[in-house]
Structure 1
Amino acid sequence: MQQPLVSILMPVHNAAPYLRASIESVSAQSYANWELIVVDDHSDDTSLSVAQEFTSEPRITVLAGSNHGASACRNQAFLASKGDFVKFLDADDILSETHIEQQVPAVIENPMQVACSAWTRFEHAIPDRAILTPDSSWRTLEPLDW
């Protein structure tokens, strides 16, 4: 059975210091059937050129945005996506190697509209100094909870 395609949508604006690690975390996924759509929102730094370094990977697409903000970039990426599932990833975030591999079966087994997962902060953007703490983020939310 073919794995569902996961479209990972990444808006980018002046994120050059973090972008390479974020894209590399997607490339390192143990789950193989993904596409990454990066939309650069008219960055003033080298974000666009950093993202373009990865375009030799056929699953990665880099688009130029129109300086209308992260939501417009997400919408542009969504319109270009082909996936069965959509995952939003900010340009300064990284995924654990098995993140998508673990999340897709959970969504399939428990059909839901939205899935989320635990997160952590890095001290001075150094992933080795991250402290992961369990979080009860897998739960059904009532409309007023969010």
Structure 2
Amino acid sequence: MTVSAKTEYACIAMIQLAARYESGQPARLREIVEAQGIPQPFLVQIMAQLKAAGLVLTSRGAAGGYRLAYAPDRISLADIFQVIEGSGDQTESNLQKPTPATEALCGVWGQICQARTKILEEVTLANLAARVAEQPDEMFYI
């Protein structure tokens, strides 16, 4: 499965917001950029899309930034994929003349898309934030 950099960055930014959700503190764009290594111009576009879709809220001022619009257990990866990529489920043949073989393949492509969607719907930001929290911090030895 190929995931665009834009979608991956969106998921990473949302996981960071999920980790802060309980504190109620918004995250500044610069904090996300520095912590995750996402190019700032790219992240600005991503956050604008997520805001327009109602997945994140913004606040202005010295204590402003981005925060999740809903609890992390209510936002799935499917929600983020839908905002950034659209449905993206192509199950039609690219060939001009359909044959029984292409029809059979299209049936399989459809099953793959359904399975992908099911998994994306089951994984929430809360799940992912918990996985991140379980990871040991990197240690550097000299």
Give the TM-score normalised by structure 1.
0.29
The structure whose residues are more often helix, as a share, is 2
Give the TM-score normalised by structure 2.
0.30
The structure whose residues are more often strand, as a share, is 1
